[in-house]
Every structure is written in C-alpha cells, then in structure tokens.
Amino acid sequence: MLNKKTRLAIIVPCFNEELVIKSTIETLIEVLDKLIFKDKISKDSYIYLVDDGSKDNTWSIIEELHSSYGKRVKALKFVRNYGNQKALIAGLLGVKDIGCDCAVSIDADLQQDENAIETFVDEYHKGAEIVSGIRNDRKTDTLFKKFTAICFYKLMNLLGVKIPQNHSDFRLVSSKALEIFEKYHEEGLFLRGFFHELGLKTSYVHFDVKPRMAGKSKFNFFSLTSLALNGITAFSIVPLRIIAAIGVLTVLGSFLLALEVIFEKYFLHDMPSGWATLVVLLAFFGGVQIFCLGIIGEYIGQIFNEVKARPRYIKETELT
Ligand code: UDP
Ligand code: MG
C-alpha cells in the first residue's frame, strides 16, 4: 500500500563530521527525492541533524545547507558533546515535536546503507511500528571492536536482555513509538534495548556496512565501554543477583575451609605455617569484595544520574 501522506524524518547525529556531512546531506536529499517520486513519502519529509557539540566546521556547513535546502534540512546544535545516544534521543524528540509519521536514524558517515531506508518505509507501510537494521557482518570493524561487540551481545543475552546480535541504531520508528518514547524520562536510556523491549510490531532488515567515507570513528575504548555498561545496568538487575550468589558461595566455601582447618588441627596435629594460605585468601576475598563493590557502584551511579533528573541536554540553536 502506498501512502502519499507519510512524512518521513531522517535523523542524523553528527560530531566533528565536517569531512562527510555535506555529501551525506546531498545523498539523503536524493533518497528523499527518490521516495517522493515513487509516492512513498510526502513532499514535506525532511532531514533533522543533531550537532553533538562539534568543534570543527560541522555547524557552519549545516547552516549553509539549511539556507540552500530550506525546510528540508532542519538542525539542532548542542552546547557541548553529550554523546551519540543523547544526540539520537534529541533527534527523536525533536522530530516528534516538529511532526512526522515515521523517523529513521542513520549515522553521519553513511556507513549504514542509505538505500535500505526505502525498505524500512515499505515495512512501515506494511504495518511495522519499528523497523530495525541488522548488520550483515562486521567486516569494517577493527578486530577489537568485533570481539567486544560479540561479547557485549552475548553478555546482554545471558543477563536476560534479548536484543538481537548486530543490532544497530539504524532504525525506523513510527509516530506511535515516538509518542511512547516521549513518556520515558530515563537519563541513561539505551535505545537499542528500549525499542526492542517496547513490544510493538517490529520488522528486521539486513544491511551491509560500508567503510567510513572520511574522518575517523568518533568512538573510542572509553565511550564504547560506557555505552556497554549503560546498556547493561539500565536494563538488567542480574549483576546484583550475581553478587548475592557470590556472597552465598563465599560463605559456604569459608565453612568448608573452617571444617578442614579444625580437622587438621585436632586430628592430624599438622598445622602448616599457614602464611601462604592466608595471603592468598586475603588477596582473593579482597578482590571479590572490590569487584562486587564495583558492580554495586555501577547501579548507584545509575540511581545517582536518574534522581538528579537533569535535562538530558541543552540546545544552543535550532534551525527549522
Ligand atoms: N556521534 C555523535 N556523538 C559522539 C560520537 C559520535 O553524535 O559523541 C555520531 C557520529 O557523528 C556518527 C554516529 O554518531 O554520526 C556514529 O559514530 P561513528 O561513525 O564515529 O561510530 P562507528 O561507526 O565507528 O561506530
Ligand atoms: Mg561510523
């Protein structure tokens, strides 16, 4: 079924993307034109850029593009860098306010295949409220990123968060999904988990990842670790239960050890000097305690962030 009235918004988070942003917008305008020509979306469909506090010329290029494309290129600028998830959240809330029937988020480097947007829209027309892009492979990733990504998805699944592997932030969400999304005020919302858990009708579309056109990846070891930790602690309390289990096992273990020591002392009369055992045990339990405290700290960190209920970001300028 073709629907002439479908207003599509394409959300693009950008952080220091001066090398690619112009050609990305041009390509996305072509995608919009093609879909308008095929009567799949309405003429007032638009691109919504979120400049995540870029330090380079990204914003001035965006301003130029806004003046040449007018209302087809809208944009928002943060006062500073808040990270890709917050930029995406701002994008989703921004297009919800401006108005759209569905919104697709895609990276500024167009590593995700922009031609899949047409398939996303087709799936939306068939009734999907969410269309999730699944990467075909991780050829373009470094070995380290590949390995950590696999571990992350395996761990998430083990912890009871059933998000499909190779999920990405390349997805379409309907205005209905956006309305629900707006009601969630969690600071550390992990979008991949959130949209998956909503339970709305979801389709999956596989796409090929291309190498980055220019510039470097904006993620480093620390930002990826923070994203992964956020994803885990925002969605699962299993680590807390593991702490409890470790506690129980430790107590049981120490009972056994006590029995053994008593046995040796009274029946074998053969007490070893014990120094090595003591040191090993001290170190071991010290380690276990610190590890457990670390996990608790993660959750306390989450609570800390949530209770502050600070605004997620502060907008500097908006072009609509
Ligand atoms: N990004 C962002 N804020 C950040 C880091 C990245 O808005 O702090 C954007 C970036 O401009 C790009 C997308 O998030 O549009 C994905 O980033 P990148 O391509 O560097 O990540 P990778 O493809 O290496 O995972
Ligand atoms: Mg990229």
Q: For residue 72, which amino acid is it?
A: R
pLDDT over 70 percentage in the chain: 96
pLDDT digits (tens, 9 = 90+) for 260-276: 777 777 777 666 667 66
Is residue 52 very low, low, confident or very high in pLDDT (cuts 50, 70, 90)? very high
Residue 48 to residue 72: CA distance in whole angstroms: 8
Closest ligand to C-alpha of residue 217 is 1
Cα angle 57, 61, 63 (rounded to 5 degrees) comes to 120
Q: According to the model, what pLDDT value does residue 4 have?
A: 57
Residue 192 to residue 171: CA distance in whole angstroms: 9
- Write down the CATH superfamily of domain 8-218+312-319: Spore Coat Polysaccharide Biosynthesis Protein SpsA; Chain A (3.90.550.10)
Query: What's the 315 CA to ligand 1 centre distance in angstroms?
Result: 19
pLDDT at 159 over 90: no
Residue with tokens 């299993």: 238
Which residues surround ligand 1 with Cβ inside 6 Å?
13-15, 17, 52, 81, 83-84, 87, 107-109, 111, 217-219
